Structure 1
Amino acid sequence: MGKRDNRVAYINPIAAARARGPVQNSGPTIQDYLSRPRPTWEELKEQLEKKKKGSRALADFEDKMNEKWKKELAKHREKRLGDKERDKKATDKEKDERKEKKEVCSI
């Protein structure tokens, strides 16, 4: 029994590409891009003015979100201030307890 022949033929990728022929362009060419219709100066000014004005719906949405944010901020602020007061009371109690322990120990 003979050994199997496991050699593979090498194909030059550049030569294979040339043999296939020219590539078919898909999509617009540079010439198409350069010759595309462009807006006039007046149309461009109008577009810029529209962008500056913005949409009324967007402005309403932003106002609504600002109101919600302010309400939420106030709620969190009240919560945090309440926590600070509770913490203050707790620390005052702890100080009093320490003083009492010192007094008891020293007597």
Structure 2
Amino acid sequence: MGRRSANIVAAIATALWFAIFAMGRDLSYSVYEQGPGIFPSSGQLDGYMVAPLVVAFGIAIAAWCFNAAQRWYWLLGTLAAVTLVSIIPYMLGYSGGV
């Protein structure tokens, strides 16, 4: 996998995981709107916001490091592709399964 294709896959994966974070942020705010004294649990916050943000920043930092090192683009592409594929099982748990 070349430099350009690895960076494109990493950018797509980062954008998708950040979009999942944004959806989770909106979901956690909707819990607050249900009434006084109703707050999202720490598990909901971790699942909706923290995990997607960690993955998105992890991919972005990996892309930055691999581009600075000017090598191992195949590893960056593989890492980004694995995170893209892992969106499917994550979303099954995120939505309660099908």
TM-score > 0.5 by shorter chain: no
TM-score tier after normalising by the smaller chain length: 0.3 to 0.5
Give the structure with higher Rg (CA).
1
Which protein has greater RCO, CA pairs closer than 8 Å, 6+ apart?
2
| Structure with the bigger percentage of helix | 2
Q: Return the TM-score normalized by structure 1.
A: 0.32
